[in-house]
A and B are shown apart, each in its own frame.
Chain A
Amino acid sequence: MGAVTVKVPTSMRHLTGGSGQVPADGDTLRAVIGKLEANYPGLGARLVDESGALRRFVNVYVDDIDVRYEQSLDTPTPDGSTLWVISAVAGGS
């Protein structure tokens, strides 16, 4: 089972006890997100909507791969890979 590192944006760190980086495992993005939700309740729901699809204000990269252009939630997450969660924020003033 792939052990991965997940980079969490500031706007979601209240769900990880303030951590910007958390460990998870799973062979696909779907499995990793399931693990994240189990360990950090609410974090999975930030990434996946009620219908089970990846939310459209969030981009997830497995290393340099944008999962939206791969297999979305079924994108493989190899052992040692880093998942980057990039969330839309609107601040500017």
Chain B
Amino acid sequence: MSLPPLVEPAESLSVDEVRRYSRHLIIPDVGVTGQKRLKNAKVLCVGAGGLGSPALMYLAAAGVGTLGIVEFDVVDESNLQRQIIHGQSDVGRPKAESAAASIREINPYVNVVIHNTALDRDNVKEIFAQYDLIVDGTDNFATRYLVNDAAVLLGKPYVWGSIYRFDGQASVFWAEHGPCYRCLYPEPPPPGMVPSCAEGGVLGVLCASIGSIQVTEAIKLLAGVGEPLVGSLMVYDALEMTYRKIKVRKDPNCALCGENPTVTDLLEDYEDFCGNVSTEAADAVVGSTITARELKDWQDAGKDVFVVDVREPAEFEIVRIPGSVLIPKGDILSGEALSRMPQDKQIVLHCKSGVRSAEALAALKSAGFKDAVHVQGGVLAWIKTVDPSLPAY
């Protein structure tokens, strides 16, 4: 399915612009008119992280006239393995500013608009309304559903990509012409069932593989060339080096863009929709949560604690709380590790940030370990408040 160009051409290209974009101009399918369309285009990139980095850089180099960046985070050293729009000297700087500086260096003709904020239900429509097309480079289900819903409600095309370890997926969701994200994935996974990249890792260069598909699709939509990925899902497996294109149907029963929608406005709470912590876990942590500092005090006072790290072995190798024992969450949830839990010691669970340990705590409590507790904020809180010399990841 080919679609008409999304953007009208700008009036003209300057002599400098003709020189800069000459390799585009001599492609018959792009030409002067296509380049003028890019010049007139307004593209918003949600996130200036793994996918946002290559996306913003190539969109800038390609001559997209206005690039918006939504990003509230600051550059951390652990970002630099893949977030190539930022550099060593940017550590500690707001990502939106760092990204904007890189874009200006790549192409001074781009008008960069910084939205140094977290996207939420109160600002998303106002921000999206200023753009022709949205590129999604976020990192969690709650924001992805928020982006999708706002894009559908405003009738905006939405170039989507997601990554995990060696796998990537990309598509174009545009309810007017095909399926939306909810047609493909009507509901997010239950909390803890699908790990995030912060938990499971991601091959840095995978961001480029998927980000470049997103930019390619954005350019095709803006200029009206080729066959866009509307109604198709690209599935990339870097280990097997295969790309597979799968047909995605528009779901007539889609809650948002189907024939009888039940979702007619943004949801009140996307975190809740994604159940970021299960009800059991949320219940389990009440009155059974300690801080990293309290754990340290217990250890210093000689309290008989059994500190269980519920992360994965690779994470345990990177950094650990002294005296902790590795028992991955899965082994606790399956019941396999319950026999290793002492009955006569204070059990203290922790993970990286406190989500997985909350799930493990719920399982332990229901298995009868009523006095078990977990550490709020996990090993990251330990590093922050007890031993800043340890590496955060």
**A, B co-complexed:** yes
Which residues of chain B come closer than 8 Å to A66, judged between CB atoms?
Answer: 246-249
Please tell me which one of the listed residues B52, B165, B184, B233 contacts residue A10 in the complex, with CB atoms under 8 A apart: B165
- Does A92 lie within 8 Å of B167, measured CB to CB? no
Task: Return the 4 tightest CB-CB contacts between A and B, nearest first.
Answer: A93-B49, A93-B139, A91-B197, A89-B164
Which residues of chain B come closer than 8 Å to A93, judged between CB atoms?
Answer: 47, 49-52, 73, 79, 83, 137-139, 197
Per-position binary interface string of chain B over residues 233-250, scored 1 when its CB falls under 8 Å from any chain A CB and 0 otherwise: 101010110001011110
Alpha-carbon gap, A64 to B235, bound state (A):
13
- Does A61 lie within 8 Å of B246, measured CB to CB? yes
Determine if A2 is an interface residue (Cβ-Cβ < 8 Å): no
Determine if B109 is an interface residue (Cβ-Cβ < 8 Å): no
- Does B202 lie within 8 Å of A57, measured CB to CB? no
Determine if A55 is an interface residue (Cβ-Cβ < 8 Å): yes
- Does B246 lie within 8 Å of A92, measured CB to CB? no
Alpha-carbon gap, A90 to B193, bound state (A):
12
Jot down 26 A-B pairs with beta carbons below 8 A, ordered by A: A10-B164, A10-B167, A11-B165, A20-B237, A20-B239, A20-B240, A42-B330, A46-B193, A55-B189, A56-B185, A57-B185, A57-B188, A57-B189, A66-B246, A86-B233, A88-B185, A88-B188, A89-B167, A90-B138, A91-B164, A92-B47, A92-B137, A92-B139, A92-B162, A93-B47, A93-B137
Alpha-carbon gap, A91 to B201, bound state (A):
9
Q: Which residues of B contact A (CB under 8 A)?
A: 47, 49-52, 73, 79, 83, 136-141, 144, 161-167, 169, 184-189, 193-197, 200, 202, 233, 235, 237, 239-240, 244, 246-249, 330, 334
Q: Which residues of A contact B (CB under 8 A)?
A: 9-11, 14, 20, 41-42, 46, 55-57, 59, 61, 64, 66, 69, 84, 86-93
Quick one: which of A20, A87, A91 has the most chain B CB within 10 A? A91
- Does A84 lie within 8 Å of B246, measured CB to CB? yes
Alpha-carbon gap, A12 to B165, bound state (A):
11
- Does B184 lie within 8 Å of A59, measured CB to CB? yes
- Does A88 lie within 8 Å of B194, measured CB to CB? yes
What is the minimal beta-carbon distance from B141 to any residue of chain A, in angstroms?
5
Which residues of chain A come closer than 8 Å to B162, judged between CB atoms?
Answer: 88-92
Closest partner residue, chain A, to B51 (CB atom): A92
Alpha-carbon gap, A41 to B162, bound state (A):
27
Alpha-carbon gap, A47 to B73, bound state (A):
34
Please tell me which one of the listed residues B144, B165, B334 contacts residue A90 in the complex, with CB atoms under 8 A apart: B144
What is the minimal beta-carbon distance from B386 to any residue of chain A, in angstroms?
26
Please tell me which one of the listed residues B188, B195, B244, B247 contacts residue A11 in the complex, with CB atoms under 8 A apart: B195
- Does B249 lie within 8 Å of A69, measured CB to CB? yes
Alpha-carbon gap, A9 to B200, bound state (A):
13
Please tell me which one of the listed residues A41, A57, A89, A91 contacts residue B50 in the complex, with CB atoms under 8 A apart: A91
Please tell me which one of the listed residues A11, A20, A64, A84 contacts residue B200 in the complex, with CB atoms under 8 A apart: A11
What is the minimal beta-carbon distance from B168 to any residue of chain A, in angstroms?
9
Which residues of chain B come closer than 8 Å to A91, judged between CB atoms?
Answer: 50, 139, 162-164, 196-197, 200, 202
- Does A90 lie within 8 Å of B139, measured CB to CB? yes
- Does A90 lie within 8 Å of B235, measured CB to CB? no
Which residues of chain A come closer than 8 Å to B247, judged between CB atoms?
Answer: 64, 66
What is the minimal beta-carbon distance from A33 to any residue of chain B, in angstroms?
16
Which residues of chain B come closer than 8 Å to A46, judged between CB atoms?
Answer: 193
- Does B138 lie within 8 Å of A89, measured CB to CB? no
What is the minimal beta-carbon distance from A56 to any residue of chain B, in angstroms?
4
- Does A88 lie within 8 Å of B141, measured CB to CB? yes
Alpha-carbon gap, A2 to B137, bound state (A):
40
Which residues of chain A come closer than 8 Å to B161, judged between CB atoms?
Answer: 92
Alpha-carbon gap, A92 to B194, bound state (A):
14
Alpha-carbon gap, A57 to B183, bound state (A):
10
Please tell me which one of the listed residues B144, B189, B249, B334 contacts residue A42 in the complex, with CB atoms under 8 A apart: B334
- Does A11 lie within 8 Å of B187, measured CB to CB? no
What is the minimal beta-carbon distance from A41 to any residue of chain B, in angstroms?
8
- Does A89 lie within 8 Å of B163, measured CB to CB? yes
Which residues of chain B come closer than 8 Å to A69, judged between CB atoms?
Answer: 249
What is the minimal beta-carbon distance from B139 to any residue of chain A, in angstroms?
4
* Contacts A20-B237, A93-B197 given; does A88 touch B163 at CB 8 Å: no
What is the minimal beta-carbon distance from A64 to any residue of chain B, in angstroms?
7
Which residues of chain B come closer than 8 Å to A88, judged between CB atoms?
Answer: 141, 162, 184-185, 188-189, 194
